[in-house]
Chains A and B, each alone.
Chain A
Amino acid sequence: QQQVKQSPQSLIVQKGGISIINCAYENTAFDYFPWYQQFPGKGPALLIAIRPDVSEKKEGRFTISFNKSAKQFSLHIMDSQPGDSATYFCAGWDEGQAGTALIFGKGTTLSVSS
């Protein structure tokens, strides 16, 4: 059972456009929802994150929208730039038997064309 479902798998956006990536989660025990950004040949790095008691969080051009009742959250990238071209992962922190672990979606490859 996939705990975090992410879509689309790939996305092409023109420079200046809005990129939207969606995620849905199954496990109601998730209590913190980060987005990670990964450039080719690098490890993922935290981009932005949200707690479930907040409906929206904005940091610069990046915004997370969170819908707790629907168990969905999304990443919006405003004024998308070629430098935003990367793979984006949504995730949730889950309580396991030995502590907490970060569970990822399958990722979205974003290409911003100039």
Chain B
Amino acid sequence: DAGITQSPRYKITETGRQVTLMCHQTWSHSYMFWYRQDLGHGLRLIYYSAAADITDKGEVPDGYVVSRSKTENFPLTLESATRSQTSVYFCASSHQRQGNTEAFFGQGTRLTVV
């Protein structure tokens, strides 16, 4: 199916463990983004990527690592999970910026760190 998919939808992990959240899009969009959503904070940008092998930090990058070896995939890794990283994570993608553009979001991954 075309679109943007995130996996897993739900994840429980222990403090200190490494966990990777997956994001896959079928549109060949150049741009991909990772956000976390927390009550009272809205959507905060973690990392974004303009193309394969081009990534940059957003507002809250500490404790996260990303890679983009293929245009369609943009995994987010928590190297050593902490309770403060309990959140809902959203991946998004958009066309290369040419005037108006729309970002399309996945369904989200609810991550709980215990």
What is B's interface to A at a CB cutoff of 8 Å? 31, 33, 35, 40-45, 48-51, 54-56, 58-59, 90, 92, 94, 97, 99-103, 105-108
| A residues less than 8 Å from B55 (CB atoms) | 98
Residue contacts A-B, CB under 8 angstroms, 20 given? A6-B42, A34-B103, A41-B108, A42-B108, A43-B92, A43-B108, A44-B43, A44-B105, A49-B102, A89-B43, A93-B97, A93-B101, A96-B56, A100-B97, A102-B33, A102-B92, A104-B35, A106-B40, A106-B42, A107-B43
Asked if A43 and B40 make an inter-chain contact with CB atoms under 8 angstroms apart, the answer reads no
| A residues less than 8 Å from B103 (CB atoms) | 34, 46, 102
Asked if A34 and B102 make an inter-chain contact with CB atoms under 8 angstroms apart, the answer reads yes
Interface size range of chain A in the complex: 20 to 34
A104-B100 contact in complex given A43-B105, A43-B106, A98-B48, C-beta closer than 8 Å: no
| B residues less than 8 Å from A51 (CB atoms) | 99-100
- Distance A6 CA – B97 CA, assembled complex (angstroms): 25
A-B contact count (CB 8 A): 74
Minimal beta-carbon separation of B8 from chain A (angstroms): 15
- Distance A97 CA – B107 CA, assembled complex (angstroms): 28
Output the nearest chain A residue to B38 by Cβ-Cβ distance.
A106
